[in-house]
Structure 1
Amino acid sequence: MNQGIGSPGRSALDLEPFRRELNLQRRFRLEQLGTLFNEANLPCPAAQAEVRAVLAAGAQQALAEIEAALARLSRGRFGNCELCGNSISVHQLEAIPTTRFCLRCDHRRQAKFNSGNEFSVRG
């Protein structure tokens, strides 16, 4: 198994930019949700309320992914693929710090999903 970015033997400083970015994203999503929930009490057309609900659901999903990535950082599992255990490339993590899978496994997972077959993530 390759050594992930969060593996022992890697400097904690390597992780700090990811932690900062994830915390910034977390704050943004919390502020976004606060605004959406405050606006939910205002009268508006049904279509606008529906858009707010969709935006809130997306923000909640993004927040859950951010918090899961922060938890992986705390557990020392950040940067390791949840399927194969190999390292996720730094470039991929820089682009999408919430990613849980290496490119190879993500492509396989998406192909299985698109074909309608189940694909399980190891626990």
Structure 2
Amino acid sequence: MSPDTARPESRPNRVMGHEARRRRAHDSRLPQLARAGHEELNRESIGVDNAGLTPGDVAALRESLQEQRLFRQEQLQQIGGASQARADQVRGQHSASQTEVHIKLAACARMVLAEVEAALQRIDQGQYGRCQLCTRPIVLDRLRIVPQARYCTRCQQVREAGR
């Protein structure tokens, strides 16, 4: 008997055996994959308010925001004070580009200060850490880097792409 004619049913069984082994290997990983997904979900959904952030997370993020608020307030005072002092010393000698730089720096500082104030208000209202577009929790690592973030990474990318 040639290999092609001998036991024609053995070839499909071998294929099915391979398929069954592949499925079994995949199925044995399912609990592990589900557990990893569940842990990720738990990390994002501990607690009820503030997008499931722990009280310790919220306290640390609040402290970071308060430091940023203080820094921006001081920055605005310095920009305003420096501009006024220079204006008094050298009236009319400021170049247009220097004035423009000061105006833009002050505008950026005011914008970030407003975002920080809004984030502190969201903490007080129990709405902090949730994307304002899709309402999903914002990942803690993102909040640690940008504590005033209003959007999750995906929604932020969509917004930036639309500009």
TM-score (norm 1): 0.80
CA distance in 2, matches of 1:94, 1:71: 17
Q: Amino acid of the residue matched to residue 130 of structure 2?
A: N
Whether the aligned pair in 2 keeps the contact of 1:5 and 1:80 (CA below 8 Å) is: no
How far is 1:50 from its partner? 1.5
Compared with structure 1, are the counterparts of its residues 68 and 39 closer, same or farther at alpha carbon in structure 2 (3 Å cutoff)? same
Percent identity, aligned pairs only, is 37
Q: Aligned residue pairs: how many?
A: 111
Compared with structure 1, are the counterparts of its residues 21 and 5 closer, same or farther at alpha carbon in structure 2 (3 Å cutoff)? farther
CA distance in 1, matches of 2:97, 2:158: 37
1:103-118 alignment runs, 5 A limit: 103-111=153-161, 113-114=162-163
1:13 corresponds in structure 2 to: 56
Q: Please give the root-mean-square deviation of Cα atoms over the aligned residues, in Å.
A: 1.9
SS, match of residue 22 in structure 1: helix
Post-superposition Cα deviations, 1:25-82, rounded to whole Å, max 9, x if no partner, equal 0000000000111122122333222111111011011101111111111111110010
Q: Amino acid of the residue matched to residue 6 of structure 1?
A: N
CA distance in 2, matches of 1:94, 1:27: 18
Determine if the alignment matches structure 1 residue 24 to structure 2 residue 74: no
Determine if the alignment matches structure 1 residue 54 to structure 2 residue 104: yes
Q: Amino acid of the residue matched to residue 139 of structure 2?
A: S
TM-score (norm 2): 0.62
Structure 1: segments with no counterpart, 5+ residues: 115-123
SS, match of residue 50 in structure 2: coil
How far is 1:12 from its partner? 2.3
Structure with the largest fraction of helix: 2
SS, match of residue 87 in structure 1: coil
Whether the aligned pair in 2 keeps the contact of 1:5 and 1:87 (CA below 8 Å) is: no
Whether the aligned pair in 2 keeps the contact of 1:89 and 1:102 (CA below 8 Å) is: yes
Q: Which has the larger radius of gyration?
A: 2
